[in-house]
């Protein structure tokens, strides 16, 4: 038992200090499980079950009890809970106890008499209880080191430092009335440098004192490395803060004291504390009474920074902790007490005082001043976020039914050579829904959808939605192994398959295949399932940096909000014909899938992969008037010799839109066509900010991403999660109605990326950097991480590296995205270090079995070792450039061959900005840095300059062969044969 333990013990029960910590979150904890965990931890952390003799604490006292108590349902878990005022020890002699407060939020309150525990000690106890609740072993904190033991390790200073003169202060004013402990809590965004000093400076201002003294708490454990004790090992030191002085001055004082170890060198005179307890008790009473009666204290406030605690460490199966904050019970003579905890990207401030009339108002205002100093309102509030609008509660299923009733005979979907009316679509999708219901599919089930851009995909999608389930679109171009992995990951029990893909092996034993064409075309009465706004509508997978794609779960309410604002902003109505040529597994396609039809308009399917012929047909002859596409595709269109007709809206989304590309599109599509730049990740339902392009954008290199749309918000935070000042660059955190539920079956990833702001707003952390321009719109700046976009496809290079690493010959792998000198686009380069004695493999073939084509690096090179820089990160600059031989600086190879090859080489050179003299016949378009969109531009150029209009269909019919072997020689041969009308030669095997 240390001297200060005795001091606390000498307090009568009614004024004994109790430290209490609230762990607040969502979900529930079983009271018996909690009791078992607390009891188990009482052995690992013996200080939680102590008894004492006159001089010593002994293990084996009464273990903490667990009580279920109910608070007021006002959004704070512990409001109105009287048990927080109960003294400790409990009547049965326990010095610690635990309260379970069910509700939403729910809370667990850990309570301990200050005689047995301090704050850092309680943090160890709490973490162990949650460990045991999760089924892990407690780390324990059984060290019996006392404060006196620590003092004994440090020699007393030769000269005792003068005790500071006590200057009594009354920060509370002189309130009368109840003297119960009262609290106020505020949460501010982010972690703040010099937090204690910033808080002390703000408190000095708030108390309107010319100078204020603060008692700052220090944890003595830092002087005993490795000690694990829950005991009382904290001390306070006094520091003065002058009003108006920069907080850094106070910070310096505190740091200097820490550097000197002042808290262990200025030991209290413990002789006094060794007095017999009855005498000490009388003394304590007298000392507590004076300040309490007069409301004058030896310091303005006790300030304790309790450190950083991640909510993830306080979760169990059914309970997700959101935050943790202290609510101590103060002794009568204690000055106000301000406790600070950093938790989940936010800072919790709890100000505690002994109450009195008017004190709550005064202390609330004080806390507001401190909050404002840390997180100024002008940075938090941005006009752009005033977006709230009435939301239509109807889901897309209800809306479709309304359109079917109003316009049964209107064209819902069309494609070259066919169409479906709303009535036909309704009937056929109803059959699908009926079959799914028969199979037991329902709410929140995921159903795979394996179909290409044909009516089968649309019928299947609506069928799944009408069954109340969620669809998972699978891209038929992706390898089977990957698709099978997605279906398993999503736990899909059924997969709807279009006939022509029946032979592919994407489903495992647990997944029933339903062939879409085998379902009757009509004759089923309405199945009548109406999904609720909170039900899942779809799951779309995106690249995952941990090596596995992650499934984004979108609920109906989010989708309906997106459809609402896109309908009004894009001006969609019954006349709209919205075309889609992008993969249906790509969320940008959802705009076309839902918005036009639900406005009574038509979805125009472009079944073929985009190339200049399909694009020409689409833009000049399809009758479509609205299109959503990536900037890469828009750039390609701008390079083609096209004459678009009748387009009203182009929605560009998926990557940064360069002004030059937007300007070219405006000129090409004419003044009747609006070009819109939309921004958004899959996790926020396709898009949530919008900017309409005008000539005024041309001055900057890139077009702004605009403003958040209805019921959506954007918050710019720095790496410490503080709001940035106006105009500064911050990471975009997105809030509002369109946020995903999370990542399918990945609660860890979900809580890492979907977090909460201090005001409770749920936000998605994008990794995108942006700033607010002087004109008030958002400008996209780039990424804060390694994620890249290639032709609008979202790629985590780490996912590709993980796949490479699975190859038996590979010891280590890295994949980086690089921009070659002179090139505009990023290229993926893979690097592998081989296992000893292993041989290089056909990496492209291996990767192609597991990843979509766009994720296969343009080259994968064997290296001896992965170079790292001083920070331990991969040193990208030190990795060899696999295409250096072909780079503009490489040796010239005189282009040779007939006029066709020379002409093709000229097209390649202009597409890739290379010197044509460096292209030999073996030159490979991808290895030269060309991506798939540039390949299409190159082919269009070859058709124009070499093949001629009459033969371009024959040439383009060989697209598959060119994609497999994109060499100058092969392209030239095909061009020559097409032009001359010769039969196409089959390339030699291998
Ligand atoms: P995805 O989930 O595939 O839609 O990709 C989302 C990411 O694409 C965002 O986080 C951004 O990095 C990028 N992105 C989407 N739209 C835009 C845009 N208009 N401008 C810049 N980047 C964009």
Q: In ligand 1, which atom is closest to the CA atom of 689? A: 19
Q: Please report the domains of the chain, with CATH numbers, ordered by start residue.
A: 3-149 (3.30.559.10), 160-224+233-310+333-380 (3.30.559), 421-532 (3.40.50.980), 796-884 (3.30.300.30), 892-980 (1.10.1200.10)
Q: In ligand 1, which atom is closest to the CA atom of 780? A: 21
Give the tokens for residue 527.
Answer: 């199945």
Please state whether beta strands 446-450 and 494-497 pair in parallel, antiparallel, or not at all (unpaired): parallel
pLDDT at 982 over 80: no
Helix 396-406 crosses helix 422-438 at what angle (to 10 degrees)? Answer: 140
Closest C-alpha among 871, 865, 848, 809 to residue 963: 848
pLDDT-based confidence at 11, cuts 50/70/90?
confident
Nearest CA to ligand 1 atom 1: 681
Residue 876 in 3-state DSSP? helix
Q: Is 65 in the pocket of ligand 1 (CB under 6 A)?
A: no
Q: Is 768 in the pocket of ligand 1 (CB under 6 A)?
A: yes
364-378 confidence digits (pLDDT tens): 999 999 999 999 999
Q: Is 704 in the pocket of ligand 1 (CB under 6 A)?
A: no
Q: How far is the CA of 543 from the centre of ligand 1 (A)?
A: 13
Nearest CA to ligand 1 atom 8: 654
Separation between Cα atoms, residue 672 and residue 566, nearest integer Å? 19
Contact assessment for residue 180 and residue 331, using Cβ atoms and an 8 Å cutoff = no
Query: If you write DSSP's letter for every residue of 651-663 in order, what string do you get?
Result: EEESS--BHHHHH
Average pLDDT over residues 596-618: 93
Q: Is 706 in the pocket of ligand 1 (CB under 6 A)?
A: no
Q: How far is the CA of 681 from the centre of ligand 1 (A)?
A: 5
Separation between Cα atoms, residue 445 and residue 438, nearest integer Å? 13
Q: In ligand 1, which atom is closest to the CA atom of 794? A: 3
Average pLDDT over residues 495-500: 96
Average pLDDT over residues 325-330: 93
Give the tokens for residue 58.
Answer: 């002994």
Counting ligand 1 atoms within 8 A of each CB, the residue from 629, 650, 655, 855 with the most, and so the one to mutate, is 655
Beta bridge partners of 346: 189, 343
Counting ligand 1 atoms within 8 A of each CB, the residue from 653, 654, 740 with the most, and so the one to mutate, is 654
Q: Is the dihedral of CA 521, 526, 527, 532 positive or negative?
A: positive
**Which range, 295-304, 762-771, 972-981, has the best average confidence (pLDDT)?**
762-771
Nearest CA to ligand 1 atom 9: 681
- Greater confidence (877 vs 694) lies with 694
Contact assessment for residue 78 and residue 101, using Cβ atoms and an 8 Å cutoff = yes
- Greater confidence (522 vs 714) lies with 714
The mean of the pLDDT values for the chain is 90
pLDDT at 890 over 50: no
Q: Is 792 in the pocket of ligand 1 (CB under 6 A)?
A: no
Residue 614 in 3-state DSSP? helix
869-880 confidence digits (pLDDT tens): 887 788 988 999
Q: Is 656 in the pocket of ligand 1 (CB under 6 A)?
A: yes
Q: Name the phi and psi angles at 705, rounded to 5.
A: -95, 0
Q: In ligand 1, which atom is closest to the CA atom of 683? A: 2
Q: Name the phi and psi angles at 446, rounded to 5.
A: -110, 130
Contact assessment for residue 356 and residue 178, using Cβ atoms and an 8 Å cutoff = yes
pLDDT-based confidence at 546, cuts 50/70/90?
confident
The pLDDT, as a whole number, for residue 580 is 96
The pLDDT, as a whole number, for residue 525 is 76
Average pLDDT over residues 483-508: 95
pLDDT-based confidence at 583, cuts 50/70/90?
very high
Separation between Cα atoms, residue 632 and residue 581, nearest integer Å? 13
Q: In ligand 1, which atom is closest to the CA atom of 766? A: 10
Closest C-alpha among 302, 298, 293, 371 to residue 330: 302
pLDDT-based confidence at 171, cuts 50/70/90?
confident
Counting ligand 1 atoms within 8 A of each CB, the residue from 473, 789, 799, 826 with the most, and so the one to mutate, is 789
Q: How far is the CA of 821 from the centre of ligand 1 (A)?
A: 24
Looking at 10-19, 231-240, 366-375, 448-457, which range is the least confident one? 10-19
Read off the pTM.
0.91
Give the tokens for residue 804.
Answer: 């490479």
Q: In ligand 1, which atom is closest to the CA atom of 677? A: 19
Kindly give, in sequence order, each residue whose CB lies less than 8 Å from that of residue 194, ignoring residues fewer than 6 positions away: 247, 248, 251
CB atoms within 10 A of CB 710: 20
Residue 808 in 3-state DSSP? coil
Q: Is 105 in the pocket of ligand 1 (CB under 6 A)?
A: no
Three-state SS sequence of 4-48: HHHHHHCCCHHHCCEEEEEEEEEECCCHHHHHHHHHHHHHHCHHH
The pLDDT, as a whole number, for residue 986 is 52
Residue 80 in 3-state DSSP? coil
Q: Is 653 in the pocket of ligand 1 (CB under 6 A)?
A: yes
Q: What percent of the chain has pLDDT over 90?
A: 69
pLDDT-based confidence at 395, cuts 50/70/90?
very high
Q: Is 654 in the pocket of ligand 1 (CB under 6 A)?
A: yes
Residue 489 CA, chain-centre distance (Å), reads 20
Q: How far is the CA of 697 from the centre of ligand 1 (A)?
A: 19
Residue 470 in 3-state DSSP? strand
Does an H or E element contain 831, and which? strand 826-834
Separation between Cα atoms, residue 437 and residue 383, nearest integer Å? 46
Q: In ligand 1, which atom is closest to the CA atom of 732? A: 10
- For tokens 């309102």, what's the residue? 377
- For tokens 């010799």, what's the residue? 641
The pLDDT, as a whole number, for residue 147 is 86
94-128 confidence digits (pLDDT tens): 999 999 999 989 999 999 999 999 999 999 999 99
pLDDT-based confidence at 518, cuts 50/70/90?
confident
Looking at 407-411, 647-651, 677-681, 785-789, which range is the least confident one? 785-789
The pLDDT, as a whole number, for residue 270 is 63
Looking at 295-304, 558-567, 614-623, 674-683, which range is the least confident one? 295-304
Q: Is the dihedral of CA 78, 81, 87, 88 positive or negative?
A: negative
């Amino acid at each position: 038992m240390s001297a200060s333990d005795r001091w606390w013990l000498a307090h009568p029960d009614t004024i004994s200090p109790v430290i209490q910590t609230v762990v607040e979150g969502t979900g529930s904890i079983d009271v018996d499980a909690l009791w078992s965990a607390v009891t188990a931890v009482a052995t690992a952390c013996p200080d939680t079950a102590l008894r004492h003799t006159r001089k010593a604490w002994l293990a084996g006292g009464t273990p903490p009890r667990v009580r279920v108590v109910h608070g007021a349902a006002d959004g704070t878990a512990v409001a109105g809970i009287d048990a927080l005022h109960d003294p400790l020890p409990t009547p049965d002699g326990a010095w610690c106890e635990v309260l379970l407060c069910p509700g939403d939020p729910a809370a667990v309150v850990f309570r301990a008499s200050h005689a047995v525990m301090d704050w850092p000690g309680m943090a160890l106890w709490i973490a162990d209880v949650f460990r045991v609740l999760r089924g892990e072993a407690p780390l324990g904190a059984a060290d019996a080191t006392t404060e006196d033991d620590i003092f004994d390790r440090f020699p007393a200073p030769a000269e005792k430092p003068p005790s500071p003169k006590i200057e009594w202060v009354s920060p509370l004013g002189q309130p009368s009335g109840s003297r119960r402990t009262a609290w106020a809590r505020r949460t501010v965004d982010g972690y703040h440098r010099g937090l204690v000093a910033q808080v002390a400076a703000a408190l000095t201002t708030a108390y309107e004192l010319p100078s204020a003294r603060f008692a700052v708490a220090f944890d003595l454990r830092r002087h005993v490395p490795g000690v694990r004790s829950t005991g009382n090992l904290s001390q306070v030191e006094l520091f003065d803060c002058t009003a108006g002085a920069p907080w850094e001055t106070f910070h310096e004082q505190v740091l200097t004291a820490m550097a000197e170890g002042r808290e262990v060198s200025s030991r209290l005179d413990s002789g006094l504390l060794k007095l017999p307890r009855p005498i000490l008790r009388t003394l304590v009473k007298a000392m507590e009474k004076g300040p309490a009666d007069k409301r004058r204290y030896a310091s303005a406030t006790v300030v304790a920074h309790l450190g950083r605690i991640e909510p993830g460490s306080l979760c169990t199966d059914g309970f997700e902790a959101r935050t943790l904050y202290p609510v101590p019970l103060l002794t009568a003579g204690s000055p106000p007490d301000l406790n600070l905890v950093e938790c989940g990207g936010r800072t919790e401030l709890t100000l505690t005082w002994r109450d009195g009339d008017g004190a709550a108002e005064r202390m609330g205002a004080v806390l507001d001043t401190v909050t404002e100093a840390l997180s100024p309102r002008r940075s938090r509030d941005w006009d752009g976020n005033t977006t709230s609008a009435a939301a239509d509660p109807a889901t897309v299923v209800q809306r479709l039914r309304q359109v079917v009733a109003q316009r049964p005979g209107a064209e819902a979907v069309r494609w070259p050579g066919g169409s479906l009316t709303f009535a036909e679509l309704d009937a056929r999708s109803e059959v699908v829904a009926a079959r799914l219901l028969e199979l037991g599919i329902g709410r929140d089930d995921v159903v795979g959808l394996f179909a290409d851009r044909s009516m089968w995909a649309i019928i299947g999608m609506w069928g799944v939605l009408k069954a109340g389930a969620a669809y998972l679109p699978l891209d038929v171009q992706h390898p089977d192994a990957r698709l099978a992995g997605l279906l398993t990951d999503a736990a899909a029990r059924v997969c709807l398959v279009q006939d022509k893909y029946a032979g592919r092996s994407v489903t495992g034993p647990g997944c029933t295949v339903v062939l879409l064409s085998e379902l009757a075309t009509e004759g089923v009465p309405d199945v009548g399932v109406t999904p609720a706004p909170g039900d899942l509508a779809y799951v779309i997978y995106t690249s995952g940096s941990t090596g596995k794609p992650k499934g984004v779960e979108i609920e109906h309410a989010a989708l309906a909000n997106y459809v609402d604002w896109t309908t009004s902003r894009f001006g969609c109505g019954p006349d709209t014909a919205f075309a889609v040529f992008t993969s249906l597994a790509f969320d940008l396609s959802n705009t076309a899938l839902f918005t036009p039809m639900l406005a009574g308009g038509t979805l125009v399917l472009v079944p073929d992969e985009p190339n200049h012929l399909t694009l020409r047909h689409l833009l000049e002859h399809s009758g479509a008037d609205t299109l959503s596409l990536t900037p890469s595709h828009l750039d390609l269109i701008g390079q083609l010799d096209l004459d678009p007709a009748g387009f009203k809206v182009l929605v560009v989304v998926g990557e940064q839109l360069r002004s030059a590309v937007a300007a070219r599109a405006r000129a090409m599509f004419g003044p009747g066509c609006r070009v819109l730049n939309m921004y958004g990740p899959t996790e926020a339902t396709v898009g949530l900010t919008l900017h309409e392009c005008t000539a005024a954008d041309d001055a900057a290199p890139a077009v702004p991403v605009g403003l958040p749309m209805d019921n959506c918000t954007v918050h710019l935070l720095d790496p410490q999660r503080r709001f940035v000042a106006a105009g500064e660059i911050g990471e975009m955190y997105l809030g509002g109605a369109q946020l995903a539920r999370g990542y399918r079956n990945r609660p860890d990833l979900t809580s890492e990326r979907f977090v909460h702001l201090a005001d409770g707003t749920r936000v998605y952390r994008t990794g995108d950097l942006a700033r607010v321009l002087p004109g008030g719109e958002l400008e996209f700046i780039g990424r804060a991480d390694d994620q890249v976009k290639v032709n609008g496809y979202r790629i985590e290079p780490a996912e590709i590296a993980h796949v490479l690493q699975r190859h038996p010959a590979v010891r280590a792998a890295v994949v980086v995205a690089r921009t070659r000198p002179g090139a505009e686009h990023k290229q993926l380069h893979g690097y592998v270090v081989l296992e000893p004695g292993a041989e290089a493999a056909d990496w492209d073939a291996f990767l192609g079995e597991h990843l979509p084509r766009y994720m296969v690096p343009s080259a994968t090179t064997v290296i001896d070792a992965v170079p790292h820089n001083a920070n331990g990160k991969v040193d990208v600059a030190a990795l060899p450039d696999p295409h250096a031989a072909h780079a503009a600086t490489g040796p010239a190879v005189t282009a040779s061959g007939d006029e066709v090859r020379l002409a093709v080489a000229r097209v390649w050179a202009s597409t890739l900005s290379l010197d044509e003299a460096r292209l030999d016949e073996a030159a490979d378009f991808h290895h030269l840095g060309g991506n798939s969109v540039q390949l299409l531009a190159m082919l269009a150029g070859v058709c124009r300059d070499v093949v001629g209009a009459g033969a371009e269909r024959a040439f383009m019919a060989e697209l598959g062969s060119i994609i497999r072997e994109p060499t100058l020689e092969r392209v030239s041969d095909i061009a020559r044969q097409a032009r001359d009308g010769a039969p196409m030669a089959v390339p030699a095997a291998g």
